[in-house]
Amino acid sequence: MQCINEVIGLFNGPSCCPAVSLAVAAFVAGAVFAFVLRLLVHPCKCRKNGKGGCRQSRREDRPFEKRKPHPAPADGSVEIYVGNLSYDMTEEQLRREFEAYGTVNSARLITNRYNGKSKGFGFVQMPNREEAEKACAELNDKDIMGRRMKCNEAKNLI
């Protein structure tokens, strides 16, 4: 109460115009009201979930945009992540690089869904673990089409 009386006393001085005092008081009251309203009535209840931030804007809470992890190969083959690829590389060129070390079941490049351009990484599936490990060891940090390819076993997130 003492604090409120001091604030009111500031606006009662001879040099302070009543209109300015009223405008400042209205602004402060509006800001306090908006803050309290945000805490109490926010539609997503983001303060109550304990995670901070608005749940409505978090990507994992929007099911239509949820990422679906690629399943691990059911036939026991090895899936290899290949990164830092040239954007001009084709799936056939990627397949040929790995076929030099053994049999390749599939080779796929990940592309942008809107313009179809490569994102610079892909996956190669090889049925034999020894051949896959040898291919990874040989091709990791190899310069292909002007870029140093990164290669390791894919981490399936299922």
CATH number where 113 lies: 3.30.70.330
The secondary structure of 143-158, three-state, reads EECCEECEEEECCCCC
Kindly report, residue by residue over 17-31, the tens digit of the pLDDT. Answer: 666 666 677 777 777
Same domain? For 95 and 148 the reply is: yes
Question: Nearest to residue 85, comparing CAs of 143, 153, 152?
Answer: 143
Any domain includes 88: yes
Asked if the structure places residue 63 within a domain, the reply is no
pLDDT digits (tens, 9 = 90+) for 64-119: 444 556 666 767 789 999 999 999 999 999 999 999 999 999 999 999 999 999 99
Residue 67 lies inside a defined structural domain of this protein: no
* pLDDT score recorded for residue 133: 93
Let me know whether 91 and 136 are in one domain. yes
Helix (H) or strand (E) holding 138: helix 129-139
**Residue 100 contacts residue 76 (beta carbons within 8 Å):** no
- Domain assignment of residue 8, yes or no: yes
pLDDT at residue 28, rounded to an integer:
76
Q: Rounded to whole angstroms, how far apart are CA atoms 94 and 80?
A: 12
Q: In whole numbers, what is the pLDDT of the chain averaged over residues?
A: 78
Q: Note down the domain range covering 105.
A: 78-153
